[in-house]
Amino acid sequence: MTSPFLRVSDEVRTALAEGRAVVALESSLIAQGLPVPHNLETALAAEAAVRESGAVPATTALDGGRLVVGADRELLERLADPERSVAKSGSRDLGPLLAAGRLASTTVSATMRIAHMSGIAIFATGGIGGVHRGAASSFDVSSDIDELAATPVAVVSSGAKSILDLPATLEMLETRRVPVIGYGVDEFPAFYSVTSGLQVAHRVDGPAEAADAVRAHRAIQGSGGLLIVQPPPADLALDVAEVDAWIKDGLRDAIDTGVRGGAVTPHLLGFLARASGGRTLGVNIGLIVNNARTAGLVATALMDRP
């Protein structure tokens, strides 16, 4: 925690100094990912879930030329305010946005980088980015994959966002040497759905086994991050075939309406919310909180025997 750009909250700083468990949380779900008022409510619920698991939450953001680690309520409310201009920062954007003093949310890649700079080993999110459908022609591959390959932080998620090409995403993770570990499952979850038909190479059952895997991976010289995946809560999960049909309809709608580039993802998410009658939003919120809870348990187990 020596970088002059870091602004670490007293609670997080004390927890790290005392060797207690800390879980990093992203903020793009607040500023760009979820609608009002669910955005702030979900962020607070995720922090509460981390605390209930015995760890300290550290929501990250950019504010006033600093990397914030442990955002307070006032900053969370500013990030959640739709009337404010909030930039969205991947790891590539951190330097320019810091220099400009912008208020910005953090994506998976940015949060991983900030967590590592701060000495935080575990990070919880909803789903990582990956290989987009049609990437063979668009070359649209999320920087989350390269960040996972390079940055030694364990990420707990419900796989990758289901609007992506999941088989290609798994292949890319393998190519980039990123271990994918099922948390109580043998199959890669499909974000909104429990099953994808895609097997994972490794499985752990419970926080102690997950912590052992993180510990061993970090001990290997040159290792980057690893991905621990668990499905959404079963009572909220949607049928994978139904979701896939909605995604295909949404992609056709994007083409028909001229939506291109970075606008495709929010267009698809909005389409899915409408097609599902709002059910995708409920799944998204549920899995974010559930992943935060699991990350807290893993972080606590990791600190029990660091």
Pairing of strands 180-183, 202-204: parallel
CB-neighbour burial class of residue 85 (10 A; exposed 0-12, middle 13-18, buried 19+): exposed
**pLDDT for position 262:** 66
Point out the catalytic residue in the list 18, 161, 174, 209: 161
Q: Give residue 277's pLDDT band: very low, low, confident or very high (50, 70, 90).
A: very high
Helix axes 143-150, 166-175, angle to 10 degrees: 30
**Cα–Cα distance, 304 to 76 (Å, whole number):** 30
Specify the number of domains making up the chain.
Answer: 1
Domain that holds residue 284: 6-304
- On whether residue 194 sits in a domain, the answer given is yes
The answer to whether position 13 is within a domain reads yes
**Which H helix or E strand runs over 89?**
strand 87-89
Q: What is the pLDDT of residue 150?
A: 97
Residue 1 belongs to some domain of the structure: no
Domain of 119, CATH number, reads 3.40.1790.10
187 is known as an active-site residue: no
Distance of alpha carbon 284 from alpha carbon 115, whole angstroms:
23
Is the distance from CB of 68 to CB of 75 less than 8 angstroms?
Answer: yes
The answer to whether the CB of 303 falls within 8 A of the CB of 57 is no
pTM equals 0.95
Specify the pLDDT at position 30: 97
Q: Would you call 2 helix, strand, or coil by DSSP?
A: coil
Task: Write the pLDDT tens digit of every residue in 15-38.
Answer: 999 999 999 999 999 999 999 999
Calpha distance 191→161 (Å, rounded): 6
Nearest by Cα to 122 from 6, 9, 1, 20: 20
Q: Which long-range contacts (CB under 8 A, 24 or more apart) does 76-84 make?
A: 76/27, 76/30, 76/40, 76/43, 76/44, 77/40, 78/103, 79/27, 79/30, 79/31, 79/103, 79/105, 80/30, 80/31, 80/36, 80/37, 80/39, 80/40, 80/43, 82/36
Q: Helix, strand or coil for residue 165?
A: coil
**Per-residue pLDDT tens for 137-161?**
788 889 999 999 999 999 999 999 9
What is the tens place of the pLDDT at every residue in 64-87?
999 999 999 999 999 999 999 999
pLDDT digits (tens, 9 = 90+) for 196-210: 999 999 999 999 999
Q: What is the mean pLDDT of the chain?
A: 95
For residue 284, which amino acid is it?
Answer: N
- CA-to-CA distance for 293 and 49, rounded, in angstroms? 5
Q: Which pair of structure tokens corresponds to residue 187? A: 């199959």
Contact by Cβ (8 Å): 203, 153: no
In a domain, 15, yes or no: yes
209 is catalytic: no
